[in-house]
Chain A
Amino acid sequence: MKRILGGVIAVLIFIVLALAFMHIPFGNIDLAEYHYYNPVDNEHTQDSVPQHYLDEGKKETGSTNIVTAVVVDYRGFDTLGEVTVLFLASTGVGSVMYIFEKEKRRKVRRANAVVETASKLLFGFIILFGAYIFVHGHLTPGGGFPGGAVIASSFLLLYLAYPRFHAEHKSLNVAESLAGLTFVGVGILGLFLAGYFLYNFLPFGLPTYLFSAGVIPVIYVAVGVKVGSELTGIVDAMMGVRE
């Protein structure tokens, strides 16, 4: 009964949504075509927001990757909130799993020898790759969030290979807190030096070079370390092996 009802509802919603979305133009949009009203200067500007980001983003932020420029510079405050949400989720997982951690631990089996050796060899390289992703966040596709996820996956590999392994909680907390403090500290420094929270106060340097784009690499390294330690904390809480 429930399945038939669910199927009927799903088909109806599919038809309605498909008919509605058919009218959205796909690929034929011209980004320069849209205009927007600028409430600060009380005028209608000829430039649309995405076209402005694409035209001026490199000049205004120094970042080659425009998505990074939007995420870290133009809407850096939004990213701060996002990191806060991730922190809250990590804390929530830790507290929920801690409540159910009181029972006796089960007998664990050792992993395959191939898995153990390979994870020992690959662990450093995976961390290096994650660091590469978030250090080059302003030049190449990637950034703090995928880099942090790659670092957490290297720890997940260790958890799978060694059932008794667990990350040091104190160092995870220290890394996470320092990264968060760096993010907020850079923002407050911008507030003092230039009058805006998260202002890009460092020199931009030459575009497409590693040391460019002002504070964007600093913030993205902080975000990468923070996301990596938080996701590792989530994995640690879910594996639930304590000595």
Chain B
Amino acid sequence: MIPYYYLASVALIVIGLYIVIAKKNLIKIIIGLDMMDTGVNLLLISIGYVKGGTAPIENGNYTLYVDPIPQALVLTAIVIGVSVMALALSIVIGLYKNTGSLELDEIRRERK
């Protein structure tokens, strides 16, 4: 069976990378970084999957569970990603208020 989850996470990482390389708009670059973040989280979660397993909550109804460690790790990673995103967006807002533009080219031209 082809692991579609891995393919999807690689696709997310690569699309985010392409956006970061090719785009000039700062908001789009931040969206690309966020997509890479999501791809890595999806990859970690799907590595911990056990066939037929359920969420690791032991209320007596199930016996087979997925790996809880990647889930705890991804919980941390999501929160760190949110804080990095908030900081980056606030810096972009400040840049826009100073230069009046979100395009990297125009900001560079302004500086000269």
The reply to whether B1 and A26 contact each other, CB–CB distance below 8 Å, is yes
Q: In the complex, which residues of chain A have a beta carbon less than 8 angstroms from the beta carbon of B86? A: 89-90, 93, 234, 238
Interface of B is mostly: helix
The reply to whether A79 and B68 contact each other, CB–CB distance below 8 Å, is no
A112 to chain B: closest CB distance in Å? Answer: 25
The reply to whether A103 and B21 contact each other, CB–CB distance below 8 Å, is no
Cβ of B31 within 8 Å of any chain A Cβ, yes or no, is no
Cβ of B102 within 8 Å of any chain A Cβ, yes or no, is no
A18-B6, A86-B79 given; A24·B47 CB < 8 A: yes
Cβ of A195 within 8 Å of any chain B Cβ, yes or no, is no
Q: In the complex, which residues of chain A have a beta carbon less than 8 angstroms from the beta carbon of B5? A: 26
The reply to whether B3 and A17 contact each other, CB–CB distance below 8 Å, is no
Q: Which of A7, A49, A85 contacts B80 (CB 8 A)?
A: A85
The reply to whether B83 and A17 contact each other, CB–CB distance below 8 Å, is no
Cβ of A22 within 8 Å of any chain B Cβ, yes or no, is yes
In the complex, how many residues of chain A place their beta carbon closer than 8 angstroms to a beta carbon of chain B? Answer: 62
Q: In the complex, which residues of chain A have a beta carbon less than 8 angstroms from the beta carbon of B79? A: 82, 85-86, 145, 227
In the complex, how many residues of chain B place their beta carbon closer than 8 angstroms to a beta carbon of chain A? Answer: 52
**A-side interface residues toward B, CB under 8 Å?**
2-3, 5-7, 9-11, 13-14, 17-18, 21-22, 24, 26-31, 49-50, 53-54, 57-58, 64-67, 69-71, 75, 78-79, 82, 85-86, 88-90, 92-93, 96-97, 99-100, 103, 139-141, 143, 145, 149, 207-208, 227, 234, 237-238
**B-side interface residues toward A, CB under 8 Å?**
1-3, 5-7, 9-11, 13-15, 17-18, 21-22, 43, 46-51, 55-60, 65, 67-69, 71-72, 75-76, 78-80, 82-84, 86-87, 89-91, 93-94, 97-98
Enumerate 8 A-B pairs (CB-CB under 8 Å) in ascending A order: A54-B65, A92-B90, A96-B90, A99-B94, A100-B97, A145-B79, A208-B60, A238-B89
